[in-house]
Amino acid sequence: MKQPQNGNCCFVEQLTDPVKAYKEQVRQNTPSVILDQLHLAILGPDPTTLFVRQAGQGGHAITPYAIEDRGNGVYWVRVYDNNHPDDANRHVEINTTNDTWSYDLGETTWTGDANTHTLGIVPISEYAEEPVCPEWHAAADELAVWLSGEGHMLITDSQGRSIGYVGDQFVNEVPSAYESIVDGGLGVEMEPIYTLPLTETYTILLDGQTLTQTETVEVTQFGPGYAVWVDDVTLEPTSQDELVIAPDGTQLAYQPNDVKEVTLTLALDSTSESNQLQVNGADIGAGQIVTLTADVDNGQLVFNNAQAGGGEYDLEISRISAAGEQKFAHAGLAISAIDTHYVDYGAWDGSGPMTLHIDHGSDGTIDETLVLDNQAGRIYLPIITKNH
C-alpha cells in the first residue's frame, strides 16, 4: 500500500532504493542537462524535487516550481525551501554558458559545475515506489555500509582500492562503488552511505582523526538477507579501528587501536526464521581482535577471544519465526584471554536455557560446557518487609 508522502517519508526514502540509486544516476548529468529535465518536469504531471550538495557541508533538498530566463544563458529556478518558508525569492541559478550552478542558502552560497556532480532532481513518483530495505533484499548484488555519528570511514578491497576519506579528503577508487550523500539541509556534513559490489570482503577503517572530541558511533553493513553492526563505539581523535565483515554477513571481526567496550551484532534472515545474535559490552584491548561468527549449518554463535584479553559480556538472542518472537538473555558471561565460546542458538527451544561450550586456549577442543538460564523478561521487584 502506498503511503502519503511527507517530508519525513521523503527524508527516510532517500536512503533506500529506488530513490538512492536514482540520485546516484541523475547527479552524473551536467547542470545544463538538469535544467532541461526540470523544464520537462515542471510542465509535466510528475512534480520533482531538486537537490544541491557541497563538499564538506552535506546536501539539501528543495522544491522547484518555476524557471526564469534571465538572459545570457542564465536561468533562475524558483524554489520553495523549508529552511526559509517565508522567502518567495529563493532560487537556484544555473548558467548554461559555463555549465555552473549556485544557491544562496542564507549564511553561505553553494556552487558546482559539470565536474562536481552535486546537482540533481528526483521525481515524486520515485518516492511513491515501495522502498527496498537493504537488509532483506535477498536478490541484491551489492552491500551498503553506514556510519551513524561523527568521524569518517575508509573502505578498502583486496586490491588496495578504497572509497571513503583519507583524513578529510574523499577518494573513490573501487569500481562500481559509490557514495550517497544524505541531503539533510542543515549544512552539517554527514558520512555518506557507501554502496559496494558484493564480490569480496572489505576492510573498514573507522577513523576519528578529524574529530575534536570523543564521540559514540555505530557502523552497520547491510547485505542480502543480513545486517551486521558494531555500536557503542567510543571514537576518539586518535582512534583508527578496523572492521572486517563477511560479504554473507556471518562474521564480524573488530580490532580497535585503543581500549574499547562495544556491542557486536549479527542479524540473519532465512526462509523460515530470522535471528539476531548479539554480544553486549565486549571488552577489547588496544590492538586486540575479537571475532563473532554465526555457524549457520551447526546453529552455533562463536565468540572468539583468541587474540584478545579476558573480560565479560552479555548475551542476547532474538528469533522470529512462525512461532512468533522469542528472546534469550544472559548477563555477565566471563570469557578468559585466548578462549572461544560456542553458543548453541540453533538448538534452543525458544524459551528455556541455552548451552554454552568453552574452548580454553582456542585449540579446537571443548573443555567446559555450561547451561545458561534464560534471564529475558524477568522483572525484579524490591523486597518489602512489614512490621506487625
Other CB atoms within 10 Å distance of the CB of residue 386: 4
> What is the value of pTM for the model shown?
0.76
pLDDT value for 220: 95
At 13 the pLDDT is 55
pLDDT value, residue 1: 28
Given a contact cutoff of 8 angstroms between Cβ atoms, the answer to whether 49 and 37 are in contact is: no
User: What is the rounded average pLDDT for all residues in the chain?
Assistant: 88
Q: How many Cα atoms sit within 13 Å of 218 on the Cβ side?
A: 11
More confident residue, 154 or 11: 154
pLDDT tens by residue, 191-242: 888 999 999 999 999 999 999 999 999 999 999 999 999 999 999 999 999 9
Question: Bridge partners of 293?
Answer: 251, 302
Q: 23 pLDDT band (50/70/90 cuts)?
A: confident
Residue 308: pLDDT over 90: no
If one compares 301 and 383, the residue with the highest pLDDT of the two is 301
Span 109-123, mean pLDDT? 93
pLDDT higher than 50, residue 5: no
- Quickly state the pLDDT bin for 3 (edges 50, 70, 90): very low
- The reported pLDDT for the residue numbered 274 is 95
pLDDT interval class at 16 (50, 70, 90)? low
User: Coil, helix or strand for 168?
Assistant: coil
| pLDDT range class, residue 7, cuts 50, 70, 90 | very low
- Which three three-digit cell numbers place residue 143? 552491500
Alpha-carbon distance of 149 to 199, in angstroms, equals 27
How many whole angstroms separate alpha carbon 342 and alpha carbon 277? 12
Distance between first and last Cα of the chain: 63
- 58 compared with 313, residue with greater pLDDT: 313
Would you say residue 56 has pLDDT above 90?
no
In the chain, % of residues over pLDDT 90: 71
Q: Where are the domains of the chain?
A: 7-128, 134-372
The whole-number pLDDT of residue 179 equals 86
- CA separation, residue 319 to residues 90, 274, 326 (Å): 51, 6, 5
Identify the residue with better confidence: 22 or 77. 77
Residue type, 95: N
- So what's the pLDDT on residue 2? 31
Task: State the average pLDDT over residues 312-317.
Answer: 96
